[in-house]
Chain A
Amino acid sequence: MQDLLNALVLLANFVFIPATAYGSQLALGALGVTLVYGILRFSNFAHGDTMAFGTMVVILLTWWFQSKGIGLGVLPTALMGIPVAILLTACFVLLTDRWVYRYHRQKKAPSVVFLIASIGVMFLMNGVVRFVIGPGDQRFEDGERFIITARAFREWSGLNEGMVFRTSQGLSIAVALLVVIALFWFLEKTRTGKSMRAYSDNENLALLSGINPERVVMITWILSAALATIAGTLYGLDKGFRPFTYFQLLLPIFAAAIVGGLGSPLGAIAGGFIVAFSEVVLTYAYKKFFTYLLPDEWAPDGLMQLLSTDYKFAISFVILVLVLLIRPTGIFGGKST
């Protein structure tokens, strides 16, 4: 009995909690990609770097707050920076829309032109971020680091295994939940949200019924900037900030959005968790887990790891390819054209 509990705590500690936190971060990132795809109909390659830009602003604000001695007590100071960072990121993104994408929109350019333009924006944003904050690692987590520490859990439960629940993980899950509820309320209940969904479903019909396309596009960019900033900050609090890592996040984020069905917000969330859980479940070394469960003489010698963590990109990719081959429009049936 004791062994079984220990094994379960081990799994919760190293698989369930990290995967849920990572999944929340991916889901927020994928929501931004999917919204832009639903309205503007192109895959935004600059999304990873938008996340990096937003997070960079948050970090700079955090440093400024820290130098003034302002903090949130147990919570990370970064949370205070998020609103301002969203504002700045949204301004930056709207400027790129005005100077880059709008021209091609008026020309009715094919979606691949937008894709290439977003690569240009990606270079630009990547350069700005590296220029301002440099290419290195930044840690900006402060406040109380743990909600549950390993020792407190061990003393409370009397088990060998400790369970750690970090503030950044708790925050990721809580904030993602709040943001998703707010976003769905916005899309389902408000007039603007409804007009966005109408525009995404049928552009011509929406235009006929008097929806202003430029306004819909503007709101979409603001939402995507906000989602990117929040997702980036949560990821940074959890795992640290580095511009190149954010660029690489593009792959799991796109995998999540495509797996769920591009253009489908619900799909993006499901996709985020599918990708995150597969990554963590397949790369975890189960040696200790089986040592608890099996009798001593059967205890495994190897690490019992299905796939080395070095290959985590392969997992996003394999899920992506499987879904595309079996169900090309994604699990929740996004757009196919």
Chain B
Amino acid sequence: MNTSGRTSTPAILAFGAMALAVIWVGQAQSWSLALSILNYCVIAAIMSLGLNVQWGYAGLFNVGLMGFAALGGMAAVLVSMPPTQQAWQAGGPALLTAMLMALITIIAAIVVYKIFQPGGRRHLVMTLVMMAGLIASRWFFDPAVKAIESVDPSRTGYLGGAGLPILISWVVGGLLAAAAAWLIGKITLGLRADYLAIATLGISEIVLSMLRYEEWLTRGVKNVNGLPRPVPYEVDIQQSQWGLAWASKLGANVQDFASIVVKLSYLGLSLLVLAILFWLCQAALKSPWGRMMRAIRDNETAAEAMGKDVKRRHLQVFVLGSAVIGLAGAMMVTLDGQFTPNSYNPLRFTFLIWVMVIVGGSGNNLGAILGGFMIWFFWVQAEPIGLWVMEVGTSWMSPENPLRKHLLESAAHMRLMIMGLILLLTLRFRPRGILPERNDIGRH
């Protein structure tokens, strides 16, 4: 095949088919729907690109994607929402004191660890220091939380954010996820694939519990609505001169026109991010670094014998991939305009991304993007398709038939089965994905 790095025929065909499917949705359902599906497709593709860096390049089995995406989402809230001044006044100082206490405890524990010889004494003193630190910080923390959460709980009840433009949160989300990944990676990398899987699964549940129950920070299950936008509001376009002019010029309804302009602006932003990330990923894959990562993936022992620091490289790639997922998480909350901790579900935010990478082709960046587009498209469209299949399949029954009613009600759950089938069929008949990894990459 071509060795110059040009896109191959299957890729063009697959993306062409994808474009046709979106156009079909635009024609048959509505252009607004097609655009919003496309918007989420791009975000899914970014997440899948992030997982591809971890799994495809380095063979790290991360099933904690949901946690990193949710951290990114939290960043969107913390960066963009206006700060709640009253809450800061009510609980801010005590909260900061509690944080300081926690910091002092950690430093004290490290000092104790350094001073004492290994043995029972060290454990005892460290336990005592940590217990004292826990009590001291809780002493300030509990009343602070109570004070913050009781400030106008129906509207705020949390500290709020920094009141900065929400686009900054995309970077902050990535950094936050990267920091978490560094911490987690330090502890769990080096474990076998299935241990790492369980450990990351646990981490993501813990992150979610935190986002749900630390109301002073994220407002918890009361959700944060009305996040500021990086693009204009529909209402403003509808009332603006140019909006009206363009709408009449195109012969469209001004409401539809405004909604499409907004969605196109989001699409432009996220496509820009996707393009930059894709370029970076390709460059990394083709560089000596990329070849080294794949060498480590394919034979750790040999790579170690060649003097490669496997654990460090793994940590590096784990942090980078998680940062991409955190960024995508922040983008998703930006697009939603709200942060709802209860909407995070591991099937949808972790395992679906896995299906994307496996089906698209692990190790191939273009494949991961294609997988993101295709699987997200299926995930959204499986519901109407499933419903239609059920309607047709049960049309011979009377409308009052309880079985028919049940089948129609449950049609939405068909998509889980379809995803399972797609994954299993891919593993069996095209184990390297639609666009397989190319071994000739980087060799000119």
Contacts and interface: CB of A to CB of B under 8 A. Distances in A.
A120 B424 contact: yes
A115 interface: yes
Nearest to B352: A123
Given A251-B198, A258-B195, A127 B205 contact: no
Given A258-B198, A313-B205, A313-B209, A124 B427 contact: no
Interface in B223-239: none
Interface stretch (A51-59, A145-153, A320-328): A320-328
Given A103-B428, A254-B198, A126 B416 contact: yes
Interface residues of B, number: 44
A124 B424 contact: yes
Contacts of A128: 417
Contact of B417 (A124, A134, A317): A124
B199 A127 contact: no
Interface in B194-228: 194-195, 197-199, 201-203, 205-206, 209, 212-213
Contact of A116 (B213, B354, B416): B354
A130 B206 CA distance: 25
A104 interface: yes
B193 A112 contact: yes
B417 A316 contact: no
B347 interface: yes
B427 A134 contact: no
Given A121-B420, A124-B424, A43 B194 contact: yes
Given A131-B417, A325-B187, A308 B193 contact: no
Contacts of A104: 427
A256 to B, nearest CB: 11
A248 interface: yes
B97 interface: no
A131 B410 contact: yes
B421 A124 contact: yes
A119 interface: yes
A127 B194 contact: no
Contact of A320 (B198, B209, B410): B198
Contacts of A258: 195, 198
A316 B204 CA distance: 13
Contacts of A115: 61, 193-194, 197
A300 interface: no
A255 B194 CA distance: 12
A296 interface: no
Nearest to B431: A113
Contacts of B431: 113
A255 to B, nearest CB: 7
A67 to B, nearest CB: 14
B358 interface: yes
B181 interface: no
A308 B206 CA distance: 12
Nearest to A135: B413
A43 B198 contact: yes
Interface of B: 59, 61, 142, 187-188, 191-195, 197-199, 201-203, 205-206, 209, 212-213, 345-347, 351, 354-355, 358, 409-410, 413-421, 423-424, 427-428, 431
